[in-house]
Structures are given as C-alpha cells and as structure tokens.
C-alpha cells in the first residue's frame, strides 16, 4: 500500500472508524488513538485485509478488536456492554437477561469471543453480517453463537 | 435482503457505497420509517460530514510495540559505537549516496547494493536532519529515510539504554532512490541514554523480531545511527 492509498482510505473511511471507536470506548481521545492504530495497521499489514471482505467490513472488525484490546480491563469491558444495554427498552426481558449475562462474561472472554459477544449482543448483527466479519459461514457463526450462549448459561448456573 | 433494523455495520457499508442498489434503497426506505434506524443513519451522516481528516495518516506517530527483553544478544562492544557514529555520519551526509563503491568508516568498502538509513528529528515543531550521536529528548519524533540502489526490504530496530529492543519500522519494501522518506515516524519514549537504531536491509522479506543486527543473514546488510536521549 502506498502513502497516497493510505491517505485516500483514511479520507474515505476514517469517519466510520472514529464513530465506531467512540461508540465502543466513549472517549474521544481514545477513539482518535484507535483511528491511528487501525489505519497504521492497515498500512503495515495490508495482507491482513487481502480483500477477503469489503473494506468497511474489515475496518469494522479491526476497530472492534482494537477497542477491545484497549479495554483490557475487565471492568471497562463490562462498562462497555452496560452502556450498550442501557436505553434499549425495546428488548424483551429474555433478551435483556442474555445481555446482562454477556455483560458479566465479557470481562473474562478471550478476544475473539469478546468480539463475537459484542457483535451479537451489543451490535445485534445478523449471523450473515457476523459471518462476513469473521470470514466464515453463517452456519459456523450459529455454532459459535451456541457455544457462547452455553458458556453464558453455564456461568449463570 | 430484508432489513429488520439497520446495524452499524450496514450503515458503514451503505456510506462506503458497498451495497447493491436494491439493498441500499431498502435500507433508506426502512430508515425513513423507523425512528431508531433513521437516527442511526442521520448520526452516521453527520459524523461523515463533520469528519475532518486533520491529521494525515502519513504523519501518524508509530506507537512503539511493547518492549521485549534484550536477552538474546550480548551488550554492544564499545568499539562498535565508533563504527556506528561514522556510518551515521555517512548516512547524514549522503554526499555520495548513490555513487558506489565508497568506503565505510571502518575502512571497509560499501559494496554496490548496500543501503543507508538516515533520519530527521522533529523537536517542538522544528525539523532538523539527524547527525551522529544526535541529542534528542523524550517526545521528539524521528523520521527515517533510506537510500538504496535497488528495491529492498527494510526494517528499523532500536536498542535503548536499558537494553530493550523496539521495532521502529516493521519490515517493508522500499523503493530505490536517494533519501526516500518513510511514511511513519516514531515518538521517542522517556528512556534516557544512548539508543542505537539499526536499519536492516534485505533482498527479501524477513522477520525483524529474530534478526541479529550484529550478524545479518546472507542477503542482508545493516546500517546504524545513535541517538543520545536527554531529559527535557
């Protein structure tokens, strides 16, 4: 990737990365740091993108992971989901419980599962969208979601 | 595609122009009738409109990776620093950078194809060319440039006064030419003392984490410069 390509990518998609990071981190300065990290990472490791998904999808995933890495502190991760949960009065009680459990669990999840929990419970993405983010089939996403749900239930039990 | 509610990802893809025309129209129709999704889309559009790319990514500071212990290599010999300083002087001058062969400071001949790393220092908004044993301060930015006759893979690694190594520039391909400025800069941390920056040039891609600057593998050459970091 050349410098001018990076510049163009930043101009075209920087706003989306910034918005995503602000939403997850709730901190403007941290979000701007994430924007830098994400675009520098693309610049340094263009092979990670490698056109396996759309660039918007890739940046969404990369930003999520970058934010979760920033939120290594479990309490912060919990805060992330708690914030996301608040104000969503439209959700059913059962769904609300699942969210709350995911909130508790998020702190202890490995990075990939934490990202999956965010996609499913915070972002409410469809399995098709998650499949695009993870680069796998919808069926596999279903399996991963079931595993995650089981883990949540085991934790609750 | 059926849109139940718009996800943030879907909005990103919409604004990026990645959706099929039918999907995009369906999304916009849905957003027009759904307060939640309408607000989500409006918010995204507002951020897009107001986003000011005020800082070029080419000026982004490279965050240093977590330092790893410098346990695998013996301490640099004192005599090495004389060589380093002289080579750095050569790099800083670059008077005959593209006229090979010429002599290295240690008396050896730099063969055709050898390459040079040099640097600029940005201190409080002022940029200056780096010199041998350049005095720098925490927070200064160092920008590297290379001079090479052929396309080559380049990385810069740094050994600081604590004996910790950082990768300033991960391996990347650089084009031939004189003083090719690299599009990343490094902000210096607060570790004071002498820091040796080694530019590694190889014919093919390599792993900066495993290479030994004192014994570069076949097909690689190295060049050094020294920074002397003092407190502000």
Q: What is the band of A154 on the pLDDT scale with cuts at 50, 70, 90?
A: confident
Q: Which residues pair with B134 in a beta bridge?
A: B227
> What's the CA gap between B32 and B49, in Å, rounded?
19
Query: Using CB atoms, which residue from A10, A19, A54 is nearest to B44?
Result: A19
Q: Which residues of A97-136 are buried (b: 16+ CB within 10 A; e: fewer)?
A: ebbbbbbbbbbebeeebbbbbbbbbbbbbbbebbbbbbee
Show the 3-state SS of chain B. CCCCCCCHHHHHHHHCCCCCHHHHHHHHHHHHHCHHHHHHHHHHHHHHHHCCCCCCHHHCEECCCCCECCCCCCCCCHHHHHHHHHHHHHHHHCCCCCCCCEECCCCCEECCCCCEEEEEEEECCEEEECCCCEEECCCCEEEEEEEECCCEEEEEEEECCCCCEEEEEEEEEECCEEEEEEEEEEECCCCCEEEEEEEEEECCCCCCCCCCCCCCCCCEEEEEEEEEECCC
pTM of model > 0.80 = no
| Contact call for residues B100 and B110 (beta carbons, < 8 A) | yes
Contacts of B130 (CB under 8 A, 6+ apart): B88, B92, B118, B119, B120, B121, B142, B225, B227
Percent of chain B with pLDDT over 90: 13
| Listed range (A62-66, B81-85, B149-153, B182-186) with the worst mean pLDDT | B81-85
pLDDT at B227: 92
pLDDT at A140: 93
pLDDT at B108: 32
pLDDT at B13: 92
Tally of CB atoms within 10 A around B114: 20
Q: Which of A126, A131, A133 has the highest number of chain B CBs within 10 A, making it the mutation to test binding with B? A: A126
pLDDT at B105 over 70: no
Query: Using CB atoms, which residue from A15, A57, A59 is nearest to B51?
Result: A15
| Listed range (A3-17, A70-84, B155-169) with the worst mean pLDDT | A70-84
Contacts of B100 (CB under 8 A, 6+ apart): B110, B111, B112, B113, B114, B149
> What's the CA gap between B140 and B125, in Å, rounded?
9
Identify residues of B whose CB sits under 8 angstroms from chain A CBs. Answer: 4-5, 7-10, 12-13, 15-16, 18, 36, 43-44, 47-48, 51, 53, 55-58, 60-63, 170, 172, 183-184
> What's the CA gap between B11 and B86, in Å, rounded?
56
| Chain A residue with Cα closest to B61 | A36
pLDDT at B93 over 50: no
pLDDT at A87: 41
pLDDT at B183 over 90: no
Q: Is the Cβ pair B13, A43 closer than 8 Å?
A: no
Query: Which residue, B225, B232, B130, B119, is CA-closest to B181?
Result: B119
- What residues in B contact A36, CB-CB < 8 Å? 55, 57, 60-61, 63
What's the gap between Cα A27 and its chain centre? Answer: 16
Tokens 């050569």 correspond to B90
> What's the CA gap between B83 and B105, in Å, rounded?
6
pLDDT at A59: 95
Residue A27 per-residue DSSP state: -
């Amino acid at each position: 990737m050349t410098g001018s390509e990076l510049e163009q990518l930043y101009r075209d998609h920087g706003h989306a990365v910034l918005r995503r990071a602000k939403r997850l981190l709730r901190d403007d300065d941290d979000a701007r740091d994430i924007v830098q990290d994400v675009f520098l990472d693309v610049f340094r490791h263009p092979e990670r993108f490698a056109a396996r998904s759309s660039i918007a999808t890739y940046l969404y995933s990369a930003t999520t992971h970058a934010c979760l890495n920033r939120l290594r502190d479990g309490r912060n991760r919990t805060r992330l989901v708690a914030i996301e949960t608040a104000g969503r009065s439209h959700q059913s009680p059962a769904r609300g419980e699942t969210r709350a459990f995911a909130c508790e669990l998020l702190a202890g999840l490995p990075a990939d599962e934490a990202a999956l929990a965010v996609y499913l419970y915070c972002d409410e993405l469809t399995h098709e969208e998650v499949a695009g983010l993870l680069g796998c089939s919808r069926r596999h996403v279903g399996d991963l979601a079931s595993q995650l749900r089981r883990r949540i239930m085991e934790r609750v039990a | 595609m059926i849109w139940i509610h718009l996800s943030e990802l879907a909005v990103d893809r919409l604004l990026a122009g990645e959706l099929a025309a039918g999907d995009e129209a369906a999304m916009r129709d849905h957003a027009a009738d759904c307060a939640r999704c309408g607000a989500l889309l409006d918010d995204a559009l507002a951020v897009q409109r107001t986003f000011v790319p005020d800082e070029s990514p080419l000026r982004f500071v490279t965050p240093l990776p977590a330092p790893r212990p410098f346990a695998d290599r013996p301490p640099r010999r004192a005599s090495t620093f004389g060589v380093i300083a002289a080579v750095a002087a050569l790099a800083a001058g670059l008077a005959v950078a593209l006229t090979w062969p010429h002599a290295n400071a240690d008396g050896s001949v730099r063969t055709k194809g050898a390459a040079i790393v040099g640097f600029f220092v940005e201190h409080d908004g002022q940029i200056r060319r780096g010199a041998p044993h350049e005095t720098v301060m925490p927070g200064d930015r160092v920008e590297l440039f290379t001079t090479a006759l052929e396309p080559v893979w380049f990385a810069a690694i740094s050994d600081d006064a604590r004996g910790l190594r950082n990768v300033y520039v991960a391996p990347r391909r650089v084009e031939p030419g004189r003083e090719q400025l690299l599009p990343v800069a490094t902000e210096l941390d607060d570790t004071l003392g002498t820091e040796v920056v080694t530019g590694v040039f190889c014919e093919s891609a390599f792993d900066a984490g495993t290479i030994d600057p004192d014994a570069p593998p076949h097909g690689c050459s190295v060049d050094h410069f020294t920074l002397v970091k003092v407190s502000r």
